[in-house]
Amino acid sequence: MSHQAFVRGVVGMPISPIIKPMPMTKPLTKFEKLKKGHAVLFPKFFTIECGEGWIELIDHLCEHFEHKLISKEANFIRFAQIKEKFGLLRVYFDLELPTPRKGIDPEKTFIQLHQTVSVIEEMSSIVCEDCGQMKHEGFNVEMRSISGWKMTRCDECYKKERQKRMGI
Ligand SMILES: [Zn+2]
């Protein structure tokens, strides 16, 4: 009992326990952790609009982008949008390149960045957007379609998705 509560009790005031609201300590989602770890690459309010299964692909891009910033091959790189579109990962980013100088070739950096994004986007066609497992021998991941919605899923996650959306 705090001193104040005691005094109030003595003078006959009703004592209501002072309960401090617990701080909201909702655990960070995987994407929130990723954004925190690469804060320089994300606008303040940014939503990654795809399933968590693709987090490793996005993380790989973050590493590549940050490397370009650290090596001063780029002045500024920031994600504009990360989303699922037509069943695949799509990434858009803003970029500012330095002026060409010794050892710095902005044109090369531009091509490398866009190529890396293309490779990652293409890889999303063999990584389950839900569970994150990559296609390998004996484990199928492919583009599916449920009532016109395209999605990349492994067999198991596709079954679950179909159950959720269509009840079959
Ligand atoms: Zn899966």
- How far apart are the two ends of the chain, measured CA to CA in Å? 58
Q: How far is the CA of 27 from the centre of ligand 1 (A)?
A: 23
Q: What is the pLDDT of residue 16?
A: 59
Report how far residue 55's alpha carbon sits from residue 61's, in angstroms, rounded to the nearest whole number: 10
With 0-12 CB in 10 A as exposed, 13-18 as middle and 19+ as buried, what is 72?
A: exposed
Determine the structural domain holding residue 82 and report its residue range.
30-127
Cα(28) to centroid(ligand 1), Å: 22
| pLDDT for res 166 | 85
Q: Is the residue at 2 inside a domain?
A: no
Element housing 142 (H / E): strand 141-146
pLDDT band of residue 167 (cuts 50, 70, 90) is confident
Cα 153 to ligand 1 centroid, rounded to whole Å: 5
Q: How far is the CA of 130 from the centre of ligand 1 (A)?
A: 5
Q: Report CA(158)–ligand 1 centroid distance (Å).
A: 7
Tell me if 91 sits within 8 A of 61, measured CB to CB: yes
pLDDT of amino acid 41: 98
Residue 112 domain flag:
yes
Q: How far is the CA of 129 from the centre of ligand 1 (A)?
A: 7
Residue 107 CA to residue 95 CA, distance in Å, equals 12
Q: Is residue 19 domain-resident?
A: no
Q: Does the residue 161 lie in any domain? A: no
**pLDDT over 70 for what percent of the chain?**
86
Q: pTM to 2 decimals? A: 0.83
Residue 125 Cα, ligand 1 centroid: separation in angstroms?
Answer: 12
Domain count, the chain: 1
Residue 127 C-alpha to ligand 1 middle, in angstroms? 8
Q: Is residue 138 part of a domain?
A: no
Nearest Cα residue to 61 out of 19, 123, 10, 13: 123
Is residue 165 included in any domain, yes or no? no
CA–centroid distance, residue 140 to ligand 1 (Å): 9
Reading the block at residue 152, the tokens are: 């990349």
Task: Taking the CA atoms of 72, 111, 37 and 94 in sequence, report the sign of the dihedral they define.
Answer: positive
* Mean local confidence (pLDDT), 26-44: 95
Residue ranges of alpha helices (H) inside the chain are 3-10, 30-37, 55-70, 106-123, 155-166
Is 155 within a domain? Answer: no
pLDDT digits (tens, 9 = 90+) for 149-166: 999 999 999 999 999 988
Distance from the CA of 133 to the center of ligand 1, in angstroms? Answer: 6
Distance CA 60, CA 132 (A): 14
Q: Give distance in angstroms: CA of 162 to centre of ligand 1.
A: 13
Q: Is position 50 within any domain? A: yes
